[in-house]
Amino acid sequence: MKKDLSYQPSKIESWRISLLGRVAKGVKCSVVGCDKQAVRSLPTEKVNVSGLKVGEARRAYLCKDHYKEFKRGTKKERMLEKWRHKA
């Protein structure tokens, strides 16, 4: 007995599925003084370690520029964490 794999969601279902996250809905960057649209969502504790100033919310939303800064600021920690899991 074969399953029918030809299911296509309706336009309304696909629209609802695509807008599940806050980033997709157009939330702004959480960094103090920035008003750009966010592209990534990360835990606030990790963002604070990188040196970026964000609010006290549970999640920090970062625009493209601040996400790049976050990656530069945490490069060493990410590399050490990768080595730690390898061993």
Question: What's the pLDDT at 2?
Answer: 61
pTM, two decimal places: 0.71
Q: Is the pLDDT of residue 18 over 70?
A: no
Question: What's the pLDDT at 19?
Answer: 64
Model confidence over 21-77: pLDDT tens digits? 888 888 999 999 999 999 999 999 999 988 999 988 899 999 999 999 999 999 998
Q: How far apart are CA 83 and CA 87, in angstroms?
A: 6
**Residues with Cβ < 8 Å from 42, sequence gap 6 or more?**
59, 60, 62, 70
CA neighbor of 50 nearest in space, from 26, 78, 25, 23: 78
Cα dihedral 43/44/50/55 (nearest 10)? 150
Where do the domains of the chain lie? 20-86
Q: Helix or strand or coil: residue 35?
A: coil
